[in-house]
Amino acid sequence: MSLPVLGAGGWGTALAVAASRSGQRKVRLWGRRPDFAARLAEVRENREYLPGVLLDPAIVVTADLQAALAEAEFALLVVPSVGMPELLAELPREPGVVLCAKGLAPDGSRLSEYAQSLGFGRVAVLSGPNHAEEIGRGLPAATVVASDDLSLAQAVQAALMSPSLRVYTSRDLVGVELGGVLKNVMALAAGLGDGLRLGDNAKAALLTRGLREMNRYLLALGADQETVYGLSGLGDLIATATSPHSRNRAAGEAIARGENPQQGGKVVEGLRTAGLLDAWATAHGHDLPIVRAVAKVCAGEWSPQEGVEQLMGRDAKAEGNL
């Protein structure tokens, strides 16, 4: 069987390299731009998105989508959430799809819901504390694949598991998927704090209360409590809010300094997600103050300092109060 990895950005390249280490399937890495794919196939290094990581000679690089999908049980879809609808529209409804973006569909729905609405019967999501820069280099890491179809989750687990990457399965599709969405907003908040030089105490408080906010949101959508404190919740929050590799944390820091948050042409998922989550919270009467502050700052309605003042000026309450 083959393993198509659809999307040749940094994360797609890292997953292709990780899958080749597993050695369970023939890996095909697909890039939409023929010139880019041809160059990547020749030099065997994604110098634009993941420099320093070499592709195994066995990885096939192609811009031919149908060739990439040949003999595949499922495909990893590794494009930004904003590009996921276009890619899904091009795919046959079989094989299964594994959604590897940590964002929402344009209408604010979960990407798995969107895929299912198009008629995809076998859908999974992959999420966790997974920086492409580290996984591509074979540093130890763990991730979670969630699906209502346990056989699909187990097949993905088998295809990606290697000595440097542990893969866990989950049936909590909602929790795993939305944990990856919400932690990006918290990482933006952490970056704003870093840019404002608010200190370690402030960051610890932000992440603690941010986790509580994630818990409130995820449970309201039907997620399992243990998922919130698992790899795709707390684990991904720690990595994304603290790492120098994190696009969202770096974008928050750039905003605090008055700079462009989307430098280098890389998609920062949290910039769009913050507004969608804030709109959901408003429509459903949920209190997500950190999400609200980040959404207002990203929209230019509040300055970063005003966002801090709004959070610090909230009414006093007991810590256990959600």
- Which CA distances in Å does 210 have to 21, 96, 247, 300? 35, 33, 18, 21
Cα 217 to Cα 1: distance, rounded to the nearest angstrom: 39
183, 266, 296, 317: which is the annotated catalytic residue?
183
Q: What is the DSSP letter of 72?
A: B
Q: Which residues contact 164 (CB under 8 A, 6 or more apart)?
A: 18, 21, 135, 138, 139, 140, 141
Cα 65 to Cα 62: distance, rounded to the nearest angstrom: 8
CB atoms closer than 10 angstroms to residue 83: 16
Cα 45 to Cα 10: distance, rounded to the nearest angstrom: 11
183 is catalytic: yes
Q: Which residues contact 252 (CB under 8 A, 6 or more apart)?
A: 187, 188, 189, 190, 191, 192, 193, 194, 195, 261, 294
Token pair 């899904």: residue? 88
Catalytic residues: 183
